[in-house]
Structure 1
């Protein structure tokens, strides 16, 4: 495939600018990379935040999107575990050759996995960013997580049995994968907050108790204390707005730790030794590479066995064009308990 070949891509045309479909050249895979024909690309809140706040991206026009599923078209030097024709999913990054919102993109082999026969492209596209954010928040042991022992290492499964954990925002994509990982790690009681409509689904993923996300901090603490005896070391706040951070903070025991997906708004001051940790879900960050190599090496196996289940999704119409409206719905808070997925190959 020559470098001059063109493909359709969705560009953010300028910092804080508008999106438009245009042409991008099809990249060549470098060392330890694969070229993927993108069949499904999932949307994440970070994508509209890049547009809204002008963050994370330095060069424009920019192609966004981190959740990718498709077929291997070509393998780069050093790639041993993939061949042309393999169905795969991968965690992209904010560079125009490695992003999701286009018809062909590059994947880094270490953070690419085969799609097992029991799943399709849409399901696989719901996994990368949300799963990696959940896993780094729980298991990264330097600055991005709680430093717990991951369940994919020797004796890691079930290691935290009889330890309680609370996950705020259980029906979010990150929350749904955090529930599943906490279940595999053995946590219990595994308490989550969500809309009551999601209760049965979240219990199927591993939650033991689901409380209405609209409960006041005081009412929630009273409920949580019944099951934890007032001893709670770990809260994962998958929403991380100032009000949920405050709730998470109030639930923790002294020396407890709160994982956040956004910058902390709580102050570490009250002499209780509680800490707030902002996680960062990119496997491409140096601090996450070793951890994420381990999880990506086992992901296919876990998905095939049903140990991890992809989350629910809705397919957007009109290929890449449909992403623009999808991001607007995300920004307006109109998406709950599912991922939005686009099909770049369907672009007119």
Structure 2
């Protein structure tokens, strides 16, 4: 292979100040440290958390800041001690904001730990691969991470681990917001873990698609709260120990909490809590998951997942989100985030290609 030229500067989408407007700006290309790789980003994905961070100023105390939580592309440089991949490999990987913007992904070159990359299987495009990390991490950690601050439901073993396939056979599972990016993976992981029935709330236009992923029943997301709870109870009389709220509105939380049996866990994707304390009981737990594999107490679980991502997707056991590629490279991200904020996106992940940045 001919040597790969690595520039010293790159284009990035930058938030110059708290609650400011995004701008494309030249920044340094990061250098991979020991155990890290440098990836030339060919596709990055947008997520609702990006517009929330921009609008509220949460997470950041220092600016300029760069956002972005997932990407896919080509490895162009190896850090010291990396032997699991080689230069030229096509990979997907998660990102994380902060840390001097080194690991965030709204830029053309991203450094990331080598144990949190997965080779892109031949049956996926780079665009599809970029849609995987954050949503899959959030679904997986929400279900299988141990309890704790921003921890999970502690299901064990995970379906990519020995003895994990079918472990929860015959137990019902509920996901609120099944057509969301996280919801689609929660359905698929629940299927691999053996849960049945798998009950999802979603727009009924997405019902057939969600059933193709493993949902056995789809309830209209627009049903009133009491009607949705009744619909779940009509489907199964078995105790429900896990419900996953991927939307986190007052209605979805109330539905998820109410359908749980004693000893059950509601996994919530945000810090928002809408259930009054007087209506909470000590026998039901709510956990607010933060889907980052960089948190130390869930790193081992995440590394195990990334070892299996290639085979899980190449075999078709997991399927990626549908994607929509936006024009303009990194400069196209703000318009895409505006669509996410307005709720105009359904059952699709928005992608941009940083190489197309003018």
- Which category of TM-score, normalised to the shorter sequence, fits these structures? over 0.9
Q: In the alignment, what sits opposite 1:189?
A: 197
The unaligned stretches of length 5 or more in structure 2 are none
Shift of 1:310: 0.6
Aligned positions of 1:307-318 closer than 5 A: 307-318=317-328
2:145 is equivalent to residue 140 of structure 1 = yes
TM-score computed with the length of structure 2 as normaliser: 0.94
Shift of 1:268: 5.3
The structure 2 residue matched to 1:124, chosen from 126, 129, 142, is 129
Instruction: Name whichever of 151-160 and 242-251 sits farther off.
Output: 242-251
The structure 2 residue matched to 1:235, chosen from 243, 264, 267, is 243
- Residues 268, 275 of structure 1: 8 Å contact kept: no
Instruction: Name whichever of 106-115 and 166-175 sits farther off.
Output: 106-115
Residue-by-residue CA offset, 1:217-276 (whole Å, 9 max, x unaligned): 221222211222162111100101122111111211222211000123224554461111
Residues of 2 paired with 1:172 and 1:326: CA distance?
16
Helix, strand or coil at the partner of 1:320: helix
Alpha carbons of structure 1 residues 154 and 3: separation in structure 2 relative to 1, 3 Å: closer
Helix, strand or coil at the partner of 2:329: coil
Residues of 2 paired with 1:267 and 1:156: CA distance?
36
Aligned positions of 1:205-224 closer than 5 A: 205-224=213-232
The structure 2 residue matched to 1:265, chosen from 271, 274, 280, is 274
Residues of 2 paired with 1:31 and 1:57: CA distance?
26
Residues of 2 paired with 1:201 and 1:3: CA distance?
42
Shift of 1:3: 9.1
TM-score computed with the length of structure 1 as normaliser: 0.97
Root-mean-square deviation (CA), in Å? 1.5
The structure 2 residue matched to 1:110, chosen from 87, 110, 115, is 115
User: Where do 4+ consecutive residues of structure 1 move more than 4 Å?
Assistant: 1-4, 267-270
Q: In the alignment, what sits opposite 1:347?
A: 357
2:46 is equivalent to residue 43 of structure 1 = yes
Residue-by-residue CA offset, 1:91-114 (whole Å, 9 max, x unaligned): 011031211111111111111110
2:309 is equivalent to residue 299 of structure 1 = yes
- Residues 131, 174 of structure 1: 8 Å contact kept: yes
Q: Report the number of matched residues.
A: 348
